[in-house]
Amino acid sequence: MAHDEPVLTARAGRTAHLILNRPRALNALTHPMVRTIDEALAVWEGDDDVTAVVISGAGDRGLCAGGDIRVIHEDTRTGAGVSPAFWRDEYRLNVRIARYPKPYVALMDGIVMGGGVGVSAHGSVRIVTERSAVAMPETAIGLVPDVGGTYLLSRAPGELGTHLALTGQTFGAADALLCGLADHFVPSDRLGALRAALAGPEVREAADVRETVRRYATTAPEGRLDTDREWIDDCYPAGSVEEIIDRLRGNGAPAAKDAAETLLTRSPTALKATLVAVRRARRTATLEQVIDQEYRASCAALTFPDLQEGIRARVIDKDRRPRWSPKELAEVTDADVARFSAPPPGGDLGLGAP
């Protein structure tokens, strides 16, 4: 394949490789990239000469910074309606990865955010490094965490997932391991040797892949969230976003007050919809059912002004001064929040249907 393609595929031994190849755009996902990945995985699933799949990102900045939100911004501006089709294929890909019958090795080196979490953290062998910067930052642009993010975060210990979903806080290797979004820590300078080992003639079965990764894995540097568990678990069970913020402000920990200040910069509508989504995901049995709900939420976000405004402030004008509408949490109605759970005009995704 030509080296300027946005997704490169390769074979080394019995290992197939997917390389996200838009380094200048932090390997942000486009609709054609999603289709290419899905098609490659379908072919390799039926290929007896492929033992495992490895996904990585080109360049030295990260695996993937998420979906190409400039395209979503243009969609909100023009009303072209292309985003639901992208999400349908992206979310189906996330489920394919989660159910993939062969080891799916995700090298979560550098930036791994949003859609980047979707193509990595659902894999069966997830590797973080000292450079890993993982986040689901959707509330900062007027979205609810998607790509199965509410499913993953709802399964994190205590209220850690609620905290990460609402704030969009970036976390490193140890915290990704703690929250269940990663399995192994491998120093970044050993990834090349790991790739070579996975291509070796002795790697012929799934068990060989897992054993090879374990040989290169070591203990991650200390994270932050384990220390913060006390105030997070105390503040986030509150009944509303407003009460969570009050508890955070009243807590003695400086980090709790910082979290409150962060929440006050996020889309009020997205915050309230996200709290509902994470708590519902915790009660929902399967990834497919949760992603069905996330699809509803993403389609609903297209009808609210905060999505266009959030992307403008973060990516287009980069002034980091979004003008949310409504501006205050108290102005977000129950009817507004309910719209994020309603079937979209084009119909449901239907992954979790009986």
**Catalytic-residue membership of 138:** yes
The pLDDT assigned to 53 comes to 98
Q: Give the active site residue among 67, 110, 118, 161.
A: 67
The pLDDT assigned to 123 comes to 98
- The residue type found at 148 is G
The pLDDT assigned to 2 comes to 61
Give every strand in the sheet of 104-108, ordered side by side.
7-12, 15-20, 52-57, 104-108, 125-128, 184-185
**Catalytic-residue membership of 67:** yes
Q: Give the active site residue among 90, 138, 228, 309.
A: 138
Which residue(s) pair with 8 in the sheet? Answer: 19
Segments of the chain scoring below 50 in pLDDT = 1
**Catalytic-residue membership of 168:** no
pTM listed for this prediction: 0.97
Q: Give the active site residue among 57, 62, 114, 115.
A: 115
The pLDDT assigned to 150 comes to 98
Show the tokens assigned to 145. Answer: 């965490």
Long-range CB contact pairs, 155-159, < 8 A, 24+: 155/180, 155/282, 156/180, 156/181, 157/229, 158/229, 158/232, 158/233, 159/232, 159/233, 159/235, 159/236, 159/237
Cα(283)–Cα(160) distance, integer angstroms: 16
Which residue(s) pair with 17 in the sheet? Answer: 10, 54
* Backbone phi, psi, residue 79, to 5°: 70, 25
**Catalytic-residue membership of 202:** no
Which residue(s) pair with 140 in the sheet? Answer: none
